């Protein structure tokens, strides 16, 4: 049996799964609000979407506090070192049983491509969703705040939807990469137990 490393703390696992469920709920209700399908009904979908969004904001505030007080924010510092090796590995190395170019440790949980992907989510996709979401949520106050002349609900809706599709794409790629461990379920299991068996 290979060496096991305790990588993900209880809070990290809770934060990961709670965030994943809330994002999937936001995607499901958001696409219903846009008329893609009918499941809950428009009003209920809007209410559920709003509650899930505020719950996710609360989770993020708590998670940001946790990351900064524990020093875990360092896990997300982007690097270009070995990015080319990671790209080659995911493009063809993984299919030829090539060795993994990144060695996971407790202090380095994310490979260079993961760090860049998380950076994109944190500095582009998430702010795009939050800002357009808040404009959407407070649409009834635009006139009182003098925003009507500067904002268009059509454009706010468009960019919010673009952000949703980008988050959906991230989620799909993330779910695929979960299966690329030494077994199909090893990464999934690690995010449940906290223990990872490095490749």
Alpha-carbon Rg for the chain, nearest whole angstrom, is 19
Q: What is the separation of C-alpha 12 from the centre of its chain, rounded to a whole number of angstroms?
A: 13
pLDDT in tens, 44-101: 999 999 999 999 999 999 999 999 999 999 989 898 888 999 999 988 888 888 888 8
pLDDT in tens, 129-181: 999 999 999 998 998 898 888 888 899 999 999 999 999 999 999 999 888 87
In terms of Cα–Cα distance, which of 63, 54, 23, 8 is closest to 163? 23
Whole-number Å distance between alpha carbons of 196 and 125? 28
Q: What confidence tier does 1 reach under pLDDT thresholds 50, 70, 90?
A: very low
Residues whose CB is less than 8 angstroms from the CB of residue 138 and which lie 6 or more positions away in sequence, other chains included: 145
- In degrees, to the nearest 5, what angle opens at C-alpha 111 toward C-alphas 107 and 113? 145
* List of long-range contacts for 164-167, beta carbons under 8 Å, 24+ apart: 164/26, 164/27, 164/30, 164/31, 164/129, 166/124, 166/125, 166/128, 167/23, 167/27, 167/121, 167/125, 167/129
CB 32, CB 45: distance < 8 Å: yes
Whole-number Å distance between alpha carbons of 81 and 110? 12
Residues whose CB is less than 8 angstroms from the CB of residue 123 and which lie 6 or more positions away in sequence, other chains included: none
Mean local confidence (pLDDT), 4-15: 91
Classify residue 7 as exposed, middle or buried by CB count within 10 Å of its CB (0-12, 13-18, 19+): buried
| Residue linked to tokens 């969004």 | 53
The token duo for 145 is 């705040």
- Tell me which H or E stretch contains 121: none
Q: Please tell me which residue, 95 or 25, carries the higher pLDDT value.
A: 25
């Amino acid at each position: 049996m290979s060496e096991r490393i305790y990588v993900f703390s209880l809070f990290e696992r809770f934060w990961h799964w709670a965030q994943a469920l809330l994002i999937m709920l936001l995607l499901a209700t958001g696409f219903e609000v846009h008329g893609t399908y009918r499941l809950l009904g428009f009003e209920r979908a809007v209410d559920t979407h709003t509650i899930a969004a505020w719950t996710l904001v609360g989770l993020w505030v708590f998670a940001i506090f946790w990351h900064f007080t524990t020093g875990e924010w360092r896990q997300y510092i982007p690097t270009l070192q070995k990015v080319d090796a990671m790209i080659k590995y995911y493009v063809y190395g993984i299919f030829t049983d090539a060795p993994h170019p990144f060695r996971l440790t407790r202090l380095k949980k994310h490979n260079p491509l993961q760090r860049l992907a998380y950076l994109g989510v944190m500095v582009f996709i998430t702010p795009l969703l939050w800002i357009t979401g808040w404009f959407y949520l407070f649409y009834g106050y635009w006139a009182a705040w003098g925003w009507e002349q500067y904002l268009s609900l059509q454009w706010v809706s468009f960019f919010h939807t673009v952000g949703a599709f980008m988050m959906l794409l991230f989620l799909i790629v993330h779910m695929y990469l979960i299966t690329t461990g030494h077994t199909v379920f090893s990464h999934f299991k690690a995010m449940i137990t906290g223990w990872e068996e490095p490749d």
